[in-house]
Structure 1
Amino acid sequence: MGRWSIKKNSKVDELDKSNIVVSKTAKEKMLQGSAWMTIGSIFSRILGAVYIIPWYGWFGADKLQANALYTKGYTVYSMFLMIAISGIPSAVAKQVAHYNAQNEYAVGRRLFKKSLLLMIIIGILCALLMWISAPFISQGDANLVPVYRSLAVALTVIPVMSLTRGFFQGYQDMFPSAMSQLLEQIVRIIYMLAATFFIMRVLKENYVMGVVHSTFAAFIGALGGLFILVAYYFRQKRQMDQLVLQSSNRLQVSDGHIIKEVLYESIPFIIIGVSTTLYNLIDQFTFQPVMQRFSVLNLRQINDWFALFAGNANKLIMITISLASAMAITVIPLLSEAYTKRDKEQIATQINDALELFLIVMLPCSLGMAAVAKPLYVIFYTYDHTGIFILSFASYIALPIGLFMVLSSLLQGVYQNKIAIKYFVIGLIVKMIVQIPLIIFLKGFGPLLATGIGMLVSNLLMLRFFYLHFGINAARIMRRFDGLLFFALLMFGVTLGVVQLSNLLFNPNSRIQSLIVLLLAAAIGGYVYIYLCLKTRIADKILGAKVAGLRRRLRIK
């Protein structure tokens, strides 16, 4: 792709000029990087949600039980995965960008190679730990043990894959990560669906075996994602070698210092990276005992409730949350570069740009999903009155979760790691305080609301810190927030109106007819939002002058 720029230097003249790219502005890099990561994340999440339609149906009467088992397995696996990855990929992206900004490409390359060996060792150790501890963390559910062990195998591959993604992100090249993410999901789903169909429909086996092979698909998908990264690395190796040759080589950094530096920088990424997983773990280990103690529901009914909010709703809202994740990943190397250059004005500008980009994308996505919750839920899971309301409620909670991801990444990008961890811990404590009473009174809605409250507290503290220490333009952000929220609410009203009117013409229990309603409502609501953003020129201010072309094509004056 030839995306990397080479800095002016006496050695540059010796290089192939065709590989030299004119440097983009920080905002252009952020928008382009966010675009690639958003494309990869969105398609990956959509694929990860679409597979549920046939997968869910093949389990028949055990579909909610299967989804509860699958969700519990992945929640614990996510914790082990975060430990295995150790925050090192994000730390490597940050440090590679830091050294590249100083024209020390050779140090960044050496950092990647040393970290690679470290990740292989950590991945194997974590895989063994999860395998051995499976019976002790299963909460007495024997069905969870083989699920945990099938996921443990993936820990041997995914850390290496994630580290390689981080290396490319350090160059602000998000294309390999996006494509790797997409291929990983495609390969995983192909295996998952093929195995589940064969086990449940051909062999007529127990649903537990179907879930075990569904979770083992994480290992198969990781092999696919790693393959494309390795191929891209060798494709770009000549250009990267040239960058190494023209390095300043002024820094003398020992291998021991490199490893120590990466581990130190990875600690906050570990803690922040497991933030949503810790929230989910609290839900998993409190919901069942609290419901057994304070309700008359049996274990199967409690698992059904758990599947509705932790499995069904969570899988769909992660589509919108993945947008925030994509923005967060993009902004860290850029902020690290500006921080290294001590460019305070650029730091403030990038923070403002990142927050405004979050608002213009996440507000309509979250409110839009809440508006189309009914047809969306029917398409993926068939009609369930409670499930629809939980999805609608969870869509609003996606906003504070997504904002937390962006804000915590911004703090890490400017080396305010302790602050990010401190505010996360405060939010987590708030979550734990309100969790049990909210479960008692609101059942499946309780854990979602507790998560929203905890994340909101963390977000307010982080925003206050940025305002006091980095001079962000709070007045400008609030003006744009007011405008975008107004447009998003108008879109929400129009979209919800289309859904309600469509119920008079279409059967709300039909998947095909619900798909028609969803497409119609999303198209009309989406056009209303885009029209308002383009008409008022707020899109130009946030996304740049290039959106003027879209305005011309839509004939908006």
Structure 2
Amino acid sequence: MIKKDSLIKGTIILAVAALAARVLGIFQRVPLDYMMGSGGGAALGLSNTMYLWLLIIATGGIPSAISKMVSERHALGKPGEAQRIYKAALLFGAIAGVVMAAILFFIAPWYSTHVSHIPLADRSIQAIAPALLLFPTIAMMRGYFQGRQMMAAGGISQIVEQIVRVLLGVGLALVVVSWGWGDRWIAAAASVGSVFGGIAALGVMIWYGRKLGRMDAEEVRAGRMRFEKSSLPFRSIYKEIFTMSMPIVVTAMTVNLLYMFDNSFLVQLSGHFYSELQAEKVLDAFSLKAVSLAGIPPILAIALSSSIIPIISSAFTTRNMNEVQRQSSLVMRIVVFTGVPAALLMTVAAQSITGLIYENAFGSGIVAALTAGTIFQISMMTSNSILYGFGKPRIPMYNTLIGIAVKLVASVALAPVLGMYGMIIGSTLCYIVVTMLNLRAIRQVVPIQTLGGKWAGYIAAVIATGAVGYGIDYGIRTMLFDTLPHKLAYLFSCGVAGIAAGIVYVVLLVMLRVVQPSDLGSFPGPLRKIFRPLMRLAPSSARG
């Protein structure tokens, strides 16, 4: 029997799945970094960002809308309507997949040549296009399972998808390399892996769908559930879905839209800041290295964003505002305590991490800048989801449009004088603006308490942690770089820096009274196990 997942359990499932997917994604790009030149890396990065952006448009934010609508129907005792909504979404996903796959395939030569000025990307874009036939449908299925608060289906399908994508993508790229073909075809072969990953993911979701069907049948026989026959017109369903999902798609596509914008327009906006060869190398570092590594810190926020919507929505629908406040405050607190230090540590140790994982450390500055910005990307994504749960998707949509406008203005102004760093600063400003506007809107509904009056201590802990991490990473790397192989020096420096900074961070949270004994009850079990033994370090007034 499939059981419903709590916020914490659902978040852990999705976070583990996303982390595994991200690690596997990096594993794919590492050998490709050795196989291809900078042109191939830029081509592969452009094809991936275009595909992900169009996938969001193809699904139209519908998975999040389905999650909310399904959870609401089940909370109101209307599972038949929830099933009808699911069928309507699957039909839309199939049609949207065909349309978007065709668009991506046919515009590839024009876009790669005349817009992005990366002509090598045409074949890789066309190779990844067929994956759009599958993933809209998969996204609909994942949204339905999330609405039923059953996160394992989407998590396992994501892991299986990535395993198949990586193995076949790298395998096909190796075959093309053995044939002596160039970067254009290596990137295309690697992109084909996404198609096979989609087939595998769809198979997992179908298996879970059948299992859920058997579980529902048992519930009906036991009299615990009754599927009323619903004749709700698809037209009414689509109206509700699109009313809810159109605002969601604007916010959901933000990060990938910014990445695609940077990939596509760096050459035009930076002017003479880079030579043609320099621009190609910078795009390779941005696409192949920075985007992959910067995707690690937001993993928890992505998982929380998916699992928090149905829980807050269900509580909000029944007007249980105390639960709404508790869950909203909890999710923001978890993000602050975990997402921020993860981004910070990857930022200060960016050179060692980049040099350890990839062929060389070129582009580590870009990795650091992009990863630092994810601190605000995390808070933006989480606050978006809380507002979705309130049934107010238009507020984050308008806030996101304001943030995107800030990004465009900043990129146009800064790219000619700072190159890619100017583009990244523009993205970070976007995240900051959206976060601030979202938090103001949330507080008008419920008075969430993230840290209360503890922000000064928290900021001090973060600054000290960053300083310790950077100092240890730089010192060890400098000391060992001439005596050990470079990969080993990078491994020791980022490993020791990460462990030391992590210890300093947790200890300072206790000593500066950011985390107090009274807070432990709201923490997940693993965090309680970490903090409880450290409480003896807290000042006596905090312990009392």
Question: TM-score when scaled to structure 1?
Answer: 0.88
**Match for residue 35 of structure 2 among 35, 58, 66:** 58
CA contact (8 A) 2:67 2:144 kept: yes
**Match for residue 71 of structure 1 among 35, 39, 45:** 45
**Could you tell me which residue of structure 2 aligns to residue 294 of structure 1?**
272
SS in 2 for 1:415: coil
1:470 partnered with 2:449: no
User: What is the distance in 2 between the residues matched to 1:532 and 1:251?
Assistant: 56
**Match for residue 285 of structure 1 among 246, 254, 264:** 264
AA in 1 matched with 2:324: I
SS in 2 for 1:51: helix
User: What is the distance in 2 between the residues matched to 1:546 and 1:222?
Assistant: 33
1:525 partnered with 2:501: yes
**Could you tell me which residue of structure 2 aligns to residue 254 of structure 1?**
233
CA contact (8 A) 2:343 2:375 kept: yes
Extract unaligned runs of 5+ from structure 2. 538-544
CA contact (8 A) 2:315 2:323 kept: yes
Matches within 5 A, 1:310-325: 310-325=287-302
User: What is the distance in 2 between the residues matched to 1:49 and 1:546?
Assistant: 27
User: What is the distance in 1 between the residues matched to 2:255 and 2:308?
Assistant: 20
SS in 2 for 1:139: helix
**Alpha-carbon deviation of 1:352?**
1.2
Matches within 5 A, 1:33-48: 33-48=10-25
**Could you tell me which residue of structure 1 aligns to residue 26 of structure 2?**
49
**Could you tell me which residue of structure 2 aligns to residue 543 of structure 1?**
523
User: What is the distance in 1 between the residues matched to 2:217 and 2:460?
Assistant: 50
**Could you tell me which residue of structure 1 aligns to residue 213 of structure 2?**
237
1:487 partnered with 2:457: no
**Could you tell me which residue of structure 1 aligns to residue 192 of structure 2?**
216
Q: Deviations over 1:42-67 (max 9, x none)?
A: 111111113322221122xx1x2211
User: What is the distance in 1 between the residues matched to 2:181 and 2:228?
Assistant: 61
Do the aligned partners of residues 76 and 544 (structure 1) sit closer, same or farther apart at CA in structure 2, a change above 3 Å counting?
Answer: closer
**Could you tell me which residue of structure 1 aligns to residue 541 of structure 2?**
none
User: What is the distance in 2 between the residues matched to 1:528 and 1:258?
Assistant: 52
User: What is the distance in 1 between the residues matched to 2:204 and 2:456?
Assistant: 42
**Alpha-carbon deviation of 1:550?**
4.2
User: What is the distance in 2 between the residues matched to 1:326 and 1:257?
Assistant: 30
RMSD: 2.4
AA in 2 matched with 1:212: A
**Alpha-carbon deviation of 1:277?**
2.0
Do the aligned partners of residues 129 and 545 (structure 1) sit closer, same or farther apart at CA in structure 2, a change above 3 Å counting?
Answer: closer
Q: Deviations over 1:357-414 (max 9, x none)?
A: 11011111011111211210101223345x1222222221111112111111211121
AA in 2 matched with 1:222: G
**Alpha-carbon deviation of 1:547?**
4.1
CA contact (8 A) 2:301 2:339 kept: yes
User: What is the distance in 1 between the residues matched to 2:336 and 2:55?
Assistant: 30
Q: Deviations over 1:6-64 (max 9, x none)?
A: xxxxxxxxxxxxxxxxxx8xxxx2211111111111111111113322221122xx1x2
Report the count of equivalent residues: 525
1:344 partnered with 2:324: no
**Alpha-carbon deviation of 1:519?**
2.2
Q: Deviations over 1:172-203 (max 9, x none)?
A: 11111111111111110001111112212x21
**Match for residue 191 of structure 1 among 168, 172, 179:** 168
**Alpha-carbon deviation of 1:123?**
0.6
Q: Deviations over 1:282-335 (max 9, x none)?
A: 2233311123x333x332221212222344212101111222111111111111
**Alpha-carbon deviation of 1:450?**
0.5
User: What is the distance in 2 between the residues matched to 1:107 and 1:33?
Assistant: 24
1:433 partnered with 2:409: yes
CA contact (8 A) 1:363 1:484 kept: no
1:94 partnered with 2:62: no
**Alpha-carbon deviation of 1:206?**
0.7
AA in 2 matched with 1:422: Y
SS in 2 for 1:294: coil
CA contact (8 A) 2:376 2:431 kept: yes
CA contact (8 A) 2:172 2:190 kept: yes
CA contact (8 A) 2:51 2:125 kept: yes
CA contact (8 A) 1:52 1:380 kept: no
User: What is the distance in 1 between the residues matched to 2:249 and 2:286?
Assistant: 25
Do the aligned partners of residues 552 and 36 (structure 1) sit closer, same or farther apart at CA in structure 2, a change above 3 Å counting?
Answer: same
**Could you tell me which residue of structure 1 aligns to residue 254 of structure 2?**
275
Matches within 5 A, 1:338-487: 338-384=315-361, 387-467=363-443, 469-474=444-449, 477-487=451-461
CA contact (8 A) 1:161 1:229 kept: yes
Extract unaligned runs of 5+ from structure 1. 5-23
Q: Which moved more, 1:247-256 or 1:353-362?
A: 247-256
Q: Which moved more, 1:485-494 or 1:298-307?
A: 485-494
**Alpha-carbon deviation of 1:556?**
6.5
SS in 2 for 1:45: helix
User: What is the distance in 2 between the residues matched to 1:359 and 1:555?
Assistant: 20
Matches within 5 A, 1:81-230: 81-140=55-114, 141-200=118-177, 202-230=178-206
CA contact (8 A) 1:150 1:216 kept: yes
**Alpha-carbon deviation of 1:473?**
3.4
**Alpha-carbon deviation of 1:446?**
0.7
Question: TM-score when scaled to structure 2?
Answer: 0.90
SS in 2 for 1:446: helix
User: What is the distance in 1 between the residues matched to 2:256 and 2:193?
Assistant: 20
AA in 1 matched with 2:102: L
User: What is the distance in 1 between the residues matched to 2:509 and 2:439?
Assistant: 25
CA contact (8 A) 1:366 1:399 kept: yes
Q: Percent identity?
A: 21
CA contact (8 A) 2:27 2:166 kept: no
**Alpha-carbon deviation of 1:422?**
0.6
**Alpha-carbon deviation of 1:273?**
1.3
CA contact (8 A) 1:92 1:166 kept: yes
AA in 1 matched with 2:365: F
Moved over 6 A (4+): 552-557
User: What is the distance in 1 between the residues matched to 2:264 and 2:456?
Assistant: 39
1:501 partnered with 2:475: yes
**Could you tell me which residue of structure 2 aligns to residue 8 of structure 1?**
none
**Could you tell me which residue of structure 2 aligns to residue 15 of structure 1?**
none
User: What is the distance in 1 between the residues matched to 2:371 and 2:207?
Assistant: 38
